[in-house]
């Protein structure tokens, strides 16, 4: 059986990792779809699809899980009614979708796909939004992502990028 797990992974965090480990117990293979793949360098979507794929592969390094996963970027089409078939045209076939996102659950259910919603893993702590806020405030975001992801974000200057794309050109920091 093959499962599909979809997210934006801005960034990939330990909540995602825990869900993925649970899915890996139920499925032989997992398709990890990186949504809003065209987005990057914005406060809500700081990382490119390629960087997000690197985060996921880096986090999957241990064990056989990596060999059982496909990581595939999916661009938005901004047309929810045909989004499921758009996604299906871009990924290997799958039997079950795992998601907690209400819109994603709704769209796959209406398309007749088997959808499972895994239990949330400390959602107050492990959320992309909370982690991006901590990055902005100089808080401890590193403990909320896999170690390899923290290293990658540091290597590519992710925190500085997020700070930069969140500033406006009326900021007094630039006198231009």
Residues near ligand ATP (CB under 6 A) are 7-10, 15-16, 19, 99-101, 120-123, 126-129
Q: d(Cα 147, Cα 173) in Å, to the nearest integer?
A: 32
For the CB of residue 151, give the shortest distance to ligand ATP in the complex, in Å: 20
For the CB of residue 12, give the shortest distance to ligand ATP in the complex, in Å: 8
7 φ/ψ sector (left φ>0, alpha ψ -120 to 50, else beta): beta
Selection from 39, 61, 62, 66 nearest residue 128 by Cα: 39
For the CB of residue 174, give the shortest distance to ligand ATP in the complex, in Å: 27
Residue 120 carries which DSSP code? P
Shorter beta-carbon distance to ligand ATP: residue 128 or 146: 128
Shorter beta-carbon distance to ligand ATP: residue 158 or 171: 158
| 52 three-state secondary structure | helix
Shorter beta-carbon distance to ligand ATP: residue 7 or 148: 7
Element (H, E) at 153: helix 147-155
**What is the CB neighbour count within 10 angstroms for residue 118?**
16
Q: What is the dihedral of CA 144, 150, 154, 157, to 10 degrees?
A: -60
For the CB of residue 36, give the shortest distance to ligand ATP in the complex, in Å: 9
For the CB of residue 31, give the shortest distance to ligand ATP in the complex, in Å: 14
Shorter beta-carbon distance to ligand ATP: residue 46 or 148: 46
Shorter beta-carbon distance to ligand ATP: residue 70 or 121: 121
């Amino acid at each position: 059986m093959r499962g599909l797990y979809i997210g934006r992974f801005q960034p990939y965090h330990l909540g995602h990792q825990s869900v993925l480990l649970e899915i890996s117990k139920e499925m032989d293979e997992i398709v990890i779809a990186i949504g809003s793949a065209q987005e990057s360098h914005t406060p809500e979507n700081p990382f490119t699809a390629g960087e997000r794929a690197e985060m996921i592969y880096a986090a999957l390094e241990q064990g056989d899980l990596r060999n059982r996963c496909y990581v595939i970027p999916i661009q938005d089409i901004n047309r929810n009614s045909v989004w499921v078939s758009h996604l299906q045209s871009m990924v290997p076939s799958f039997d079950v979708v795992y998601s907690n996102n209400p819109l994603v659950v709704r769209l796959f259910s209406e398309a007749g796909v088997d959808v499972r919603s895994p239990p949330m893993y400390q959602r107050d702590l492990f959320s992309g939004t909370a982690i991006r806020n901590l990055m902005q405030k100089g808080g401890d975001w590193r403990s909320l992502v896999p170690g390899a992801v923290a290293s990658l974000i540091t290597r590519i200057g992710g925190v500085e990028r997020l700070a930069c794309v969140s500033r406006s050109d009326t900021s007094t920091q630039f006198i231009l």
